[in-house]
Amino acid sequence: MLQIGSSLKGKVAVVTGGSGVLGSGFCEALASCGVKVAVLGRTQEKLNRIVEQIISNGGTAIGVQADVLRKEELIEAKTVINNTFGSINILINAAGGNHPQGTTSKEYLEQSDFDQTSDNSTTFFDLDTTGVEFVMNLNFLGTLLPSQVFAKDMVENEGSVIVNISSMNAFTPLTKIPAYSGAKSAVSNFTQWLAVHLSKVGIRVNAIAPGFFLTDQNRALLTNEDGTYTERATKILSQTPMERFGRRDELTGTLLWLVDEKASSFVNGVVVPVDGGFSAYSGV
């Protein structure tokens, strides 16, 4: 009987955004299967905490500071990883996020919005191009650039795989976050494109589209100071048949399936929803 993850021991994985809530979960799951994990992020202190946790659990990991939007830093990181662990087999593009300046204050534009003189609200017409550009760059270029750098090790390297992190926003855009929804749509499209482009050199490319998980980035949007859910969180849960937010460990089964060549060798160019039924529910 096939045991997911059993063929991963000794392989080398790079996880961008590896110090985040979801990314750190990916790192820990891979390490538990015997993968040598390079945890990438911008803050060394956060990286050190994840690495220490992995090592204390018997795993192997290093923390490498690098910005996914700076190709020269990624190239330097690759050199460190190659010198420490050898050739790279697995890339998890988990870096991403939103920005307040790419977000509207309200779900719908109303005529009354034009009559207000307050600067506290942001309509579609007030969106800051700097904020929108930040979100597009972080999510799309932050996936493309690491793929360019780290996938060079994977060419003709049997069992190599890239897993991108998309979002349910890529299937159906959520209100208020046009930049993030557009950026994640780009990630899904790029996943399909790259899967075709690399198919002749033995690299599979797939993506996971998480539904709603509480992370450091969205916690203020979804929970009040007393821990209760905000109106937006309640609305999200009303559209999620399982009526709860996901736990980060509920993504790891899908991740390990996608990176395990014995389990998913013919799976290529797909975006897998892990969303508690959100994408299946019409609202009625």
Asked if 213 and 22 count as a contact pair (C-beta separation under 8 A), the reply is: yes
Which residues, at least 6 apart from 72, have a Cβ–Cβ distance to it below 8 Å?
Answer: none
Spell out the alpha helix ranges (H) of the chain. 21-32, 44-56, 71-85, 129-136, 142-150, 178-197, 219-222, 231-238, 249-259, 261-264
Q: Which of 108, 180, 229, 281 is catalytic?
A: 180
> What order of strands is seen across the sheet that includes strand 12-16?
60-65, 36-41, 12-16, 90-93, 160-165, 203-210, 271-274
> If we measure between CA atoms, which residue out of 246, 104, 76, 268 comes closest to residue 168?
246
For this structure, is 229 an active site residue?
no
Which residues are identified as catalytic?
A: 180
